Amino acid sequence: MTDVVAFRNATKSFRGNPAVKNVDFTLRRGEVHALLGENGAGKSTLTKVLAGLYPLTSGEMLMDGKAVSFASPAEAMENGVAMVFQETNLVPSMTVAQNIFLGDEKFFNRIRGINIQAQQHLQRMSFHVEPTALVSGLGAAKKQMVEIARAVHHKARIFIFDEPTATLTPEEKQHFFDLMDRLKGEGASIIFISHALEEALSVADRISILRDGELVVTDDAGAFSRESIIQAMVGRQLTGELYGEGGRQRVARKPGERVLAIENLSMGKVVRNATLSVFAGQVTGLFGLVGAGRTEMMKIAAGVLRRDFFHGGVVRLNGVPVRFRVPRQAVSRGIAYVTEDRKYDGLFTTMGVMQNVYQGKLARGSNPVEFVRMEDVQHQAQEWIERLNVRAIGGDAKVVELSGGNQQKVVIAKSLIQEPSVVIFDEPTRGVDVGAIAEIHQTIERLADAGAAIVVISSYLPEILNLSDRILVARQGRIVEEMMIEEATEEKIMYAAVH
Amino acid sequence: MRSLAPGPASLVKSQEGIVFLLALLAFLAFALFLPAFFSAGNLLTLVRSVSILGILALGMALVVVGRGIDVSMVATMVVSVSWAFALSRSGYPLEVALLIGAGFALLTGIIIGFAVAVGEVPPIFATLAAGSIIYGLGRTFFFTLEMQNVPPGEDWFALIGQGRILGIPVTVVAFAMLCFVAHILLSRTRFGWQLYAMGNNPEAAKITGVPFRPMVVAQYAISAFVAFGAGLILASSASAINARLYNSTFIYDILLVVVLGGIGLNGGHGKIRNVILGTMFVGILLNGMTIMNIPFTVQNLVKGVVLLFAIIIDSLVNPRDEQTSQQGDL
């Protein structure tokens, strides 16, 4: 078989940090090639290069033997590459037919003509979707079909599916796999990114595994077993002294009181019947792959999201059922949620470092016309800035001028100045430099030593193993595994997290 | 942080500096070429009329800093005051009637606040609709004449708009005092700090624990109450209030002051000195054009062009998407 796409020594760096390192990857004509790896292993980055979203930093990309580089997704599309994202790129307010023809309209369009053409197109692929239906009214599976139909209409011959089955029901999945078969039969090549190992094993012709941006192994699917895949996914050389020997020699802190308990929590399709407990004086690590609902579980506990009114389950704080409708209620009861996306809902970009930190303190009070005493701001904000070792040129420095690590420390300080008894860290070291990671980890350890109940949500296994006393693994909206640090291994955790 | 006393170089670069220079230039030009401009009588009129505009702009600024906008202020102003006058004519003591008017203004502000905070209606639509509703209610149920004179026999009322304290018109004193109060509120109180937080990053403000919805309601309640106060001064200085003001371009003058002064429409930016600056500039411009006998429609044309440019400059100086803050991002 011939190679349709080949990456030669491909590297893609963001600000000097390689997300993909020296990868040699080939995609053959008429094959389904599964791309596996942890979150952040570089799967998405690699495929996004192919789809024209990023250029390569070094190395080359060959298509049919010729070196190519796509400046935009539109250009990739012209060359037959279509990427179907987890969240679809359809226009919800338009009909199925309009979406299929989007970007390819003639100057004059007859709705009826488009509908008829779309109908024929959909029937040829045996998709049971009404061309006149609005996309906003379709389920996840049908949206995916429309997206695929659109890609086929645009004469795509290389399809990239990023987590296509995450939101599908079993029947819909079967339908999707049939469709992949059909595309394959017509000579298309498919890259299939998934966390579901069984699916990859059953539908893929070849499997490639990425770890920390490097290609570990590529082989025929028949050569792999579930165990060998997991082994390859996590078997990393631990990165330097930062993550030492994992959690092996660590002994768990003794659990204190059960501070936060979540019972049968549900929210939409994301959190389904989750049950977990968090104890004082301990770090509880919460691991899960993308879409496992771990962030949502904790956001509900912190009042950031709201659960289903009738079947939502119970959240208990110190044994008492609570129902927070806004974060303020949770904050005043001592629950702090440190966001995973500091740019979106963490930082006040127009303000200085001290003002950012002091906003946390202000939020604990209620009298709106109470005066802000400048010496208090100086004193208290400065104290936390020093405790967390935020490096900025004076407290007046704007937060946008800081590095990612220092910004993260500001966000953490803003929460810690509220003296919470439960702190939820969501991906506390995302986009943070190595030095700051160590400092943030120390801060988290110290908090737990001081008796606070800590939750660390992370998709990076070494971080979970390094910090946690107790590890919870989330999968498909529930907690499926609980283990103490002494018994935890990367393989065990990953085994529970994949499905 | 920007220093409080910008040097000449930064004066030209910052928006405030440009507006300040323009205001100065306009003032000097008018003073030189328009004999009627630089007379004691006209300057007094200027300062007085500008004060009402400035007071309304203070209320507007508060809402704009919190990433909102209140285009119902003029409607609230004319209806609450006109209703009070109508009530007074029908037998209520003026004091009681004014209290009812104030209560009405506050109520409209609170209802708008709820629509924005709880109903999550975009502020521009909520207040646009509210303005129309308030005016409609007023003209249909509360009073019929669009011109409402100050009820006779209440001499004290005239003092608000026409009296003087130490030779300075009460109007100007009121504007100055409100500026001071607003400045303290914004820069020194929890309310002010949290207002900037909400305007800058609403999501972060919520997560941090800012009482988001009460704060939104409070903003619109304050702006409505300020509108009522401005209405009192306006009615007192003119001995009447004309409900047709709602149909004029007055609300755009207020917005012009706020935007031109340098309070970013995307929230979280700007101080009271920006309002004062904007008031000065717009006041001088409007007064000068009136003296030059420029037709009303041409005046509107000029104001419209200036407002458009101010908004364009605003969106360049304060970009809405934080493209500038990409540092440290992965």
- Residue B280 sits in which domain range? 36-316
DSSP-derived pairing of the beta strands A271-279 and A258-267: antiparallel
Q: How far apart are CA A44 and CA A42, in angstroms?
A: 6
pLDDT above 70 covers a percentage of chain B that reads 91
Residue A144 β-bridge partners: none
- In this prediction the pTM is 0.78
Residue among A15, A295, A306, A328 with most chain B CBs within 10 A, to mutate: A328
pLDDT at position A105 over 80: no
Report the relative pairing of strands A189-193 and A158-162 from DSSP bridges: parallel
Which CATH number characterizes residue B170's domain? 1.10.3470
Share of chain A above pLDDT 70, in %: 93
Q: CA A87 from chain center: how many Å?
A: 12
SS3 A358: helix
Backbone angles phi, psi at A219, to 5 degrees: -160, 170
Say if B124 falls within a structural domain: yes
What pLDDT score does A194 carry?
81
Q: Is residue B25 included in any domain, yes or no?
A: no
- Structural domain contains residue B322: no
**Partners of residue A371 in chain B, C-beta under 8 Å:** 188-190
In this chain, the answer to whether the domains covering A3-234 and A258-497 adopt an identical fold is yes
Average pLDDT over residues B52-68: 94
For A432-459, what is each residue's pLDDT tens digit? 777 788 889 999 999 999 999 999 998 8
pLDDT at B128: 93
Q: How far is A341 from chain B (nearest CA, A)?
A: 10
List chain A residues with CB under 8 Å of B262. Answer: none
> Among the listed ranges A298-302, A344-348, A407-411, B150-154, which one has the minimum average pLDDT value?
B150-154
Measured CA to CA in angstroms, residue B230 lies from A127, A203, B65, B275 at distances of 65, 73, 20, 15
Whether residue B22 lies inside any domain: the answer is no
Question: Which tens digit of pLDDT belongs to each residue from A188-243?
Answer: 899 988 877 888 888 889 999 888 788 888 888 888 887 788 878 776 544 444 55
Average pLDDT over residues A75-96: 81
Q: What is the pLDDT of residues A308-329, one digit of tens each?
A: 777 788 999 999 999 898 999 9
Instruction: Give, in degrees to the nearest 5, the angle at Cα B257 between B255 and B259.
Output: 65
Query: Do residues A484 and A252 touch, judged by C-beta distance below 8 A?
Result: yes
Residue A376 pLDDT class (50, 70, 90 cuts):
confident
Task: Supply the pLDDT for residue B32.
Answer: 86
Residue B18 lies in a domain: no
Q: Are A7 and A35 in contact (CB under 8 A)?
A: no
CA distance B157 to B150: 8
| Residue B13 forms part of a structural domain | no
Nearest residue on chain B to A433, alpha-carbon basis:
B328
The mean pLDDT of A113-124, rounded to a whole number, is 85
Instruction: With a cut of 80, say whether residue B253 has pLDDT above it.
Output: yes
* pLDDT class of B134 with cuts at 50, 70, 90: very high
Tell me, what's the pLDDT at A109?
Answer: 72
For B159, what's the count of Cα atoms within 13 Å in the CB-facing half-sphere? 7
Question: Could you tell me the residue ranges of all domains in chain A?
Answer: 3-234, 258-497
The residue to which tokens 């101080």 are assigned: B271
Q: What is the pLDDT of residue B319?
A: 59
Contact assignment for B209 to A418 by CB distance below 8 Å: yes
Q: What is the CATH number of domain A258-497?
A: 3.40.50.300
Q: Looking at residues A71-95, what average pLDDT do you find?
A: 81
Q: How many helices (H) and strands (E) does chain A have?
A: 18, 20
Give the residue from A246, A215, A202 showing the smallest Cα distance to A493. Answer: A246
CATH architecture entry for A3-234: 3-Layer(aba) Sandwich (3.40)
DSSP H helices in B201-249: 202-208, 212-238
User: What percent of chain A has pLDDT above 90?
Assistant: 22
DSSP string, A330-355: HHHTTEEEE-S-HHHHT--TTSBHHH
Q: How large is the average pLDDT for residues B19-41?
A: 84
Nearest chain A residue to B325, by CA: A400
pLDDT winner (highest mean) among A34-48, A116-130, A393-407, B193-207: B193-207
pLDDT digits 0-9 by tens, A3-17: 888 888 888 887 667
- Assigned token pair, B232: 């009192």
Better pLDDT: A205 or A148? A205
Q: What is the pLDDT of residue A344?
A: 84
Give yes or no for residue A87 having a pLDDT over 70.
Answer: no
- The residue type at B133: I
Query: Looking at the predicted structure, is the pLDDT value of residue B102 above 90?
Result: yes
Q: Which pLDDT belongs to residue A409? A: 92
Which of B207, B265, B324, B325 is the best substitution to test chain A (most A C-beta atoms within 10 A)? Answer: B207
